[in-house]
Amino acid sequence: MLAELRWIAFVWQVMLESTLRTIALSTKGFMPEAEGDALYDAASRACAALPGLPIVEVGSYCGRSTVWLGAVARDHGVVLHAVDHHGGSEENQSGWEWHDPEVVNAHGRIDTLPYFRRTMQVAGLTGVVRECVGDSHAIGKDWKQKVSFCFIDGGHGRDVARGDYEAWSPHVEVGGLLAVHDVFERPEDGGQAPHDEIYQPALRSGKFVEVSNCGSLRVLRRVVV
């Protein structure tokens, strides 16, 4: 089976199959298992509601969350566009808490693209995952397709987060879902940019309503153009 079903709180939740789950959890990244499962379930529902439309991930790092989303794309016969410059977000740079010296290349720069490609190869998802290597703001502004699902998990600087929201939220089709990671209401729990620059503006716009949450993951449905 490509997916397993688990009965939780009287709702059938679609779950990632065990082989890909093992690959996802062994991949460098910051997506907790429960939030990855919630991401997979939300993307599956979006693809079922809007068949044929592609899905987008903004911020792939080494491909941990991409495994969950790539499996959704494979199961529903669509493409996942994985957007990342692969140079590391602000919090990944040297001297910051989330810096990993293993992803620094021979030139002294963070380069997660080889790790990402390896993850997609091991997971067998290269046929449905399209690399979009570059600036997420520029790629999003030039984007031409509507998407059923957009997951924003890019840089956590305020300008970066705001730019991701402005560049990508317009491409979510009505009835589609916008997912935002690392949404923390209290500053002491984490960076505030995803909360203040993506999540709150989406709700204030009147175009999105929250439909689910798990940990720091928030999922919103687009209800009007």
In 3D space, the residue among 64, 89, 92, 68 whose CA is nearest the CA of residue 80 turns out to be: 68
- Residues 58, 77: Cα–Cα separation, whole Å: 20
Long-range contacts of 106-111 (CB under 8 A, 24+ apart): 110/86, 111/86, 111/87
Q: What does the alpha-carbon distance between residue 38 and residue 115 come to, in Å, rounded to a whole number?
A: 24
Q: Out of 156, 171, 181, 195, pick the active-site residue.
A: 156
What's the CA gap between 199 and 33, in Å, rounded?
A: 22
The question of whether 171 is a catalytic residue gets the answer no
The Cα–Cα gap between 22 and 224 comes to 38
Chain-centroid distance, C-alpha 216: 12
Please list the active-site residues: 156
